[in-house]
Amino acid sequence: MPSKSIYAPFVENNVILCSRCFSRLGDIEKYGCDENGLWFIASCRRCGQKMRWYRNPDGTTKTIDNEKENSEENAFSFHMENGEIVMKSE
């Protein structure tokens, strides 16, 4: 059985949403530690895609340098404003 791809979620101000449909994630299914720190995996409640993110020891969401580089290449980005996700051009 082929495994599902695991994606990085949409994270802003410690709000973690599915990066595919911007819905809430379900319960944490797996967790562990690797060279980037503590990681967690949860599936989206709506579309079922798996998301993996990292946290710092103090509980805040950690961004990985590769994710920052990839986000700078885009012509637009998503941000949370007043509880809604909005798209802004770079």
The predicted model scores a pTM of: 0.69
Across residues 32-39, what is the average pLDDT?
88
Across residues 52-75, what is the average pLDDT?
67
The answer to the question of residue 1 being in a domain is no
The answer to the question of residue 43 being in a domain is yes
Domain ranges, residue 23: 6-63
The answer to the question of residue 56 being in a domain is yes
The answer to the question of residue 80 being in a domain is no
Q: Give the Å distances, CA to CA, from 79 to 11, 17, 29, 89.
A: 9, 12, 26, 11
Comparison of pLDDT for 34 and 50, the residue scoring more:
50
Instruction: Give phi and psi for 63, each to the nearest 5.
Output: -105, 140
Confidence of residue 28 (pLDDT cuts 50, 70, 90): very high
The answer to the question of residue 45 being in a domain is yes
Mean pLDDT of the chain, nearest integer: 81
Domain count, the chain: 1
Are 7 and 50 spatial neighbours (Cβ–Cβ below 8 Å)? Answer: yes
pLDDT of residue 34: 87
The answer to the question of residue 79 being in a domain is no
Angle at alpha carbon of residue 64, lines to 20 and 8, rounded to 5°? 15
The answer to the question of residue 54 being in a domain is yes
